Amino acid sequence: MGFNTFSFMLLSLLLSPSVQTMAAAGGRDRSSLNAEWKFSRFESNPDSLSYDGMKAWILPSANDYIDGDGHQRPSGTPPGSDVEYVKPDFSDDSWETIDLPHDWAIKGPFNPPGSTGHMGRLPTNGVGWYRKKVSFTDKDLTKNLYLDVDGAYSYAAVWLNGVLVGGWPYPFNSWRLDLTPYAKSGDNQLAIRLDNALESSRWYPGAGIYRNVWLVKVNPTHIAHSGTYVSTPKVSAESASINVAVLVENSGNSTQEVDVSTQIFVYDANTKKATGDAVASLQQGTISVERGKKQSANASVDLANPQLWGPPPNQKPNQYVAITKLFAKNSTDPIDTYETPFGLRSIIFDATKGVLVNGEALRLQGTCNHHDLGSLGAAFNVRAAERQQQMLQEMGSNALRTSHNPPAPEYLEISDRLGMLVLDEIFDTWNNPKLEQDFHSIFPDWREPDTRNFVRRDRNHPSVIAWSVGNEIPEQGNDQGTETGTALRSFAKAEDPVRPVTLGMNGGGANTGLAAVIDIKGLNYLGEGGGTDNNSAFPSFRDKFPDSFIFTTESASTVSTRGTFLFPVADGDVTVIPNEYNEPRPGTDDEHRWVSSYDLYVPQHGATPDKVFRQQTKYNYVGGEFVWTGFDYLGEPWPYDSSRSSYFGIIDLAGFKKSRFYLYQAHWRPEFPMAHILPHWTWPTDRVNQTTPIHVYTSGDEAEVFINGESQGRKKKGKEEWRLRWDNVTYRPGNVSVVAYKEGAEWARDEVRTVGTATKLNVMADRTAIKGDGLDLSFVSVFVTDDESGVDPVAVNEITFEVEGPGEIVSTDNGDPTDLTEFPSLKRKAFMGRALAIVRAKKGEAGSVRVKATAEGLAQGTAEIQVVLVPNIGSAFARESLRDPRVLVGNTPNSQTNAPLDSKASLSNALVDFLLDLELLGGSGSEHADVDLGVGDVNAERGGFLESLLEVGLAGSRTRCGGARFLCEMSLVTDTVDAEAVGLDEADDAGGTIGFGVVEIDVVVVIWRVSD
């Protein structure tokens, strides 16, 4: 059952900060350097520079993350001073002007010389130069000036005014350089060089400065980079012990005495601001910091009745923020202010019960994901990453593994906000290579600073529950692996003594030294057994480590092409596809490079979802899994290397759900009524009367299937069955329906039908309002349909996209791994009836964006998107959902009740009760008795309240409640099956934009306090 979102907004958006500059607050200024860089890529080295030649000048950049003596910067002229690209007077007028984040390869073309499938067939290799003018005032030069780079691929080297400052070779870590010694008053020339080998990654890594870049100005005495650590040794519903450690750095010319104090506030993750009054205060006291040194200051406090952070649906991801201030002696004005968001939660890895989050026993229902964002490439975008995490939550996932590298900082902020559990991972290789030009060569020099940097940056995120220091390391079974694992664990523990350290092992076994070193035992595929082999490593690890948490760091690797069903269908619940083309390859179509979506086909090492469920049920002490993968990703396109992207995802590269999505949803969300039929039921005439197996994924325990109203029998799930199969039915045009049952009562329904001739395009935007900040996105889906809006499941019509208004189409896609059309193309063939356009708002512009899709012989389709300039909004003090938010993409994971709202009247009543409880609709004794939503007496016509709100919402972009003090937002989220089920028809829509019908309604209400 698919879900789409239509939002009626009294405030246009779920607001989050769009301004990327933080004014100097307490002596600290952090501003974005993302805009207007000059860029040029060279396929061959244009400057004769290399990492080896610059290494001695770059290694000192790591000194903050080395325990003991660091590296000394050599004397003399550093490399690159004579290269024209670093010189202030070099003319870069002919270079491309770009904004960051930037992935130079994603525009294509595909198949450049020397490219291979495993890196996505895109031009990632070469040398890239970035240049930007940065201006400093005389006052700026009295401060420390830092360049913060969140990620650059790869071997970054930085020059300021022609002098090599430093760099960082590992492309996935964030890093900081001190520009202070090289800065001057007026214009300064910043130049960054990146150098990418042809074969540096086993998947598509992107290329360029693909994350945010910041300029930080602070006083010489300040809180160090990532210099706070909030630990919570005791957490319960009654109280929490909070310790805040602060590292103060003095880069001035004399010893400084400073007072350190911290206040703790409730944190609004949407606005990224503290709310209300401080809930606790800590006095770290006065410390003396010698020049050129760092000094720590610690303090603790107990907080009664804390708001705990935890994953939905049973918990809420509440957050706090610690605001730390430094004061010079006898001064009341802070010389530095530093904000540290965090969450209060108890995490216990129990050897039998699973992961205990605030006492709730959870199994890890996780997915592995690479860092690309589909057709957007590696250039990070908050909305694109948020959409991915929300879709995975809708499926029932509660955990993410950042395979196989640290993510963007904002990715973890999203996880914090949504309540996802994160296994944060750093390395794919250690000392021994997987590819000749991967990052094993820099590992000996950088293993300590990379590991410490990674942990120090991410340790305050409540979503991060464990550190993974490796994946399928070649030396995992020998002494070198044991030594390295021991060292990496010690580095991580030095930065964060609390969280456990693990890695993904795919060999070596329980008796290796490395298995003993790591805290929790992560297995890649070993527990489930590869292919049809049912031999499991779980028992041997359980016998060796009876008190340790054991889990699957990587599972499944099932492959499929979305919407493609091939015959005959394999018996059993797992079938191996051989690597060799000269052997029979069941479940594949080599001509089209398709893999069947019956979800039964795997590589030799892999397993189907059914097999993983079976093995983890059998060995019920196993703490869960991370499926390979949540989304298809660029590169690694097994079993067809000539394709551009993988087949492993549960969701395809464009974000369209494969059948597998519903198999996981059925297992991971047993409380959610759902049923899903596969395959589609639109086949050519030569399939009539041919065997066409029907499979049903349902959270029920039995189901009955009907073809054209005729029962095909009622079946009940066996003890080790996670799908129901009718393998001997034959195809007859018409419709297939299923009625699922649970404990004897009807539970859910689904239906597919034979679709008629395609006549039109239906267009739907995932969000109908976006921020005009130049970053926000709307994902616009196009469906090739018949007259009754049934999606043609085999349509491949070429679609042309056009856009009018303050928006632009960034990329298009269709989820087809074999499609080598360049992503920026405005022409895209539908694949299995679907295509996607990603629309970005233009910065600083507001208005209506109209997206039009046309195809020869089909009626065009359009979607309207409102681009809104976000007002100055303060903190949100009320945000609740009236249904389980994981049902639908786009909701905030705060669930008030899971009671079904089966009509407009019941929804209206629930909404009125909710707002009255908050005392935001007036009433006797209400603090906000003057609040007026413009809908009359809500108690007099409670059942009509929703309809009145819809009218108000469609009349304007926002409504002020309580005079000028509040802004209110309501989002109505709808399903796509049958409008009559809740009595909502197109007349209620007042604009015809629902269109697809409604089965379940979710309302999110946000009341915002307006800043003065």
Q: Give the span between the Cα atoms of 467 and 487, in whole angstroms.
A: 14
448: helix, coil or strand? helix
Give Dmax (Cα) for the chain.
90
Handedness of CA 211, 215, 218, 221 (dihedral sign): positive
> Which residues, in sequence order, are CB contacts of 478 under 8 Å at separation 6+?
none
User: What would the 3-class secondary structure string for 583-609 be?
Assistant: CCCCCEECCCCEECCCCCEECCCCCCH
> Which residues, in sequence order, are CB contacts of 157 under 8 Å at separation 6+?
49, 51, 54, 58, 80, 164, 166, 167, 192, 193
| Residue at token pair 């031009």 | 123
Count of beta carbons in the 10 Å neighbourhood of residue 111 = 15
Q: What are the distances in angstroms from CA 996 to CA 4, 770, 985, 986, 993?
A: 9, 22, 10, 9, 8
Contact by Cβ (8 Å): 476, 514: yes
Instruction: Identify the DSSP state of 73.
Output: P
Count each helix (H run) and each strand (E run) in the chain, helices first: 12, 54
Handedness of CA 977, 981, 984, 987 (dihedral sign): positive
| Residue at token pair 């394999």 | 570
| Residue at token pair 């028809």 | 985
Instruction: Identify the DSSP state of 61.
Output: G
Count of beta carbons in the 10 Å neighbourhood of residue 333 = 9
The pair of three-digit structure tokens given for residue 892, joined into one six-digit string = 């905030």
Catalytic residue chosen out of the listed positions 386, 448, 554, 969: 554
Q: Using alpha carbons only, how large is the chain's radius of gyration in Å?
A: 28
Q: Strand pairing of 675-678 and 694-698?
A: antiparallel
Whether 743 is a known active-site residue: answer: no
Report the side by side order of strands in the sheet with 694-698.
675-678, 694-698, 724-726
96: helix, coil or strand? strand
953: helix, coil or strand? helix
Q: Give the span between the Cα atoms of 807 and 46, in whole angstroms.
A: 37
- Residue type at 767 in one-letter notation: R
713: helix, coil or strand? strand
Q: Give the span between the Cα atoms of 342 and 267, in whole angstroms.
A: 9
Q: Strand pairing of 575-576 and 601-602?
A: parallel
Whether 554 is a known active-site residue: answer: yes
Q: What are the distances in angstroms from CA 218 to CA 24, 656, 888?
A: 9, 45, 43
| Residue at token pair 């006291």 | 285
Q: Give the span between the Cα atoms of 664 and 249, in whole angstroms.
A: 49
> Which residues, in sequence order, are CB contacts of 691 under 8 Å at separation 6+?
567, 568, 727, 728, 729, 730
Catalytic residue chosen out of the listed positions 249, 386, 413, 472: 472
Which of the residues are catalytic? 472, 554
